[in-house]
């Protein structure tokens, strides 16, 4: 595939990337305002925190595989990481639609640390969406040189979001009622 064909192939996805990058956070914000009077049969926070932990592990394994030259394993792991992230998001929104938010009860330095981690986690979870989508599109359109460039940004952002999701859960878990 020539450079111009790659650029055209990338561009056909740009509108979808923009739409998803805006729609996902907006829909999540709207759904946070929706309260369903439903008791879930399971308590979701430890499940979606575990999904975040698995996502972090899968991302690290995917990087290891590509550095070993195992492109197929890398591709499968990255697709799995995307599925895990979507699963996390669905469970996270479902939990917040059916449960009241839990207030953090810590004080002093721990409170500031918690809110710093939470705020950066939330902001970067929004920022990482277009990075993941662009990185994925560049891979599936075989634009590997551009894929590598953006993946160097996407990987640490996505890993930070996954790891801080687990940290936020661990820090707030004593305050769940």
Say if 48 falls within a structural domain: yes
Helix axes 45-67, 144-172, angle to 10 degrees: 150
Residue 8 pLDDT > 80: no
Say if 22 falls within a structural domain: no
Task: Check residues 97 and 12 and name the one with the higher pLDDT.
Answer: 97
Say if 7 falls within a structural domain: no
Cα–Cα distances in Å, from 64 out to 75, 91, 102, 143, 163? 12, 28, 37, 20, 18
CATH code for the domain of 92: 1.20.120.80
pLDDT in tens, 77-94: 999 999 999 999 999 999
> What percentage of the chain has pLDDT greater than the value 90?
82
Say if 5 falls within a structural domain: no
* Averaged pLDDT for residues 99-116: 94
The total number of structural domains that make up the chain:
1
Say if 159 falls within a structural domain: yes
pLDDT at residue number 138: 94
pLDDT in tens, 66-78: 999 999 999 999 9
Say if 52 falls within a structural domain: yes
Residue 41 pLDDT > 80: yes
The Cα 133–Cα 169 span in angstroms is 26
Task: Check residues 6 and 88 and name the one with the higher pLDDT.
Answer: 88
Question: Range of 116's domain?
Answer: 42-175
Say if 157 falls within a structural domain: yes
Say if 81 falls within a structural domain: yes
């Amino acid at each position: 595939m020539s450079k111009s064909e790659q650029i055209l192939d990338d561009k056909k996805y740009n509108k979808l990337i923009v739409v998803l990058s805006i729609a996902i956070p907006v829909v999540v914000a709207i759904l946070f305002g929706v309260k369903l009077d439903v008791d879930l049969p399971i308590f979701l926070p430890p499940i979606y925190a575990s999904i975040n932990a698995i996502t972090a592990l899968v991302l690290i394994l995917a990087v290891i595989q590509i550095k070993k030259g195992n492109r197929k394993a890398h591709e499968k792991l990255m697709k799995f990481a995307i599925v895990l992230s979507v699963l996390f998001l669905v469970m996270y929104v479902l939990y917040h639609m059916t449960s009241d938010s839990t207030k953090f009860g810590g004080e002093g330095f721990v409170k500031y640390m918690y809110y710093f981690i939470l705020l950066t986690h939330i902001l970067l979870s929004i920022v990482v969406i277009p990075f993941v989508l662009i990185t994925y599109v560049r891979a599936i359109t075989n634009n590997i040189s551009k894929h590598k460039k953006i993946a160097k940004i996407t990987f640490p952002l996505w890993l930070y979001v996954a790891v801080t999701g687990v940290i936020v859960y661990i820090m707030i878990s004593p305050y769940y009622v």
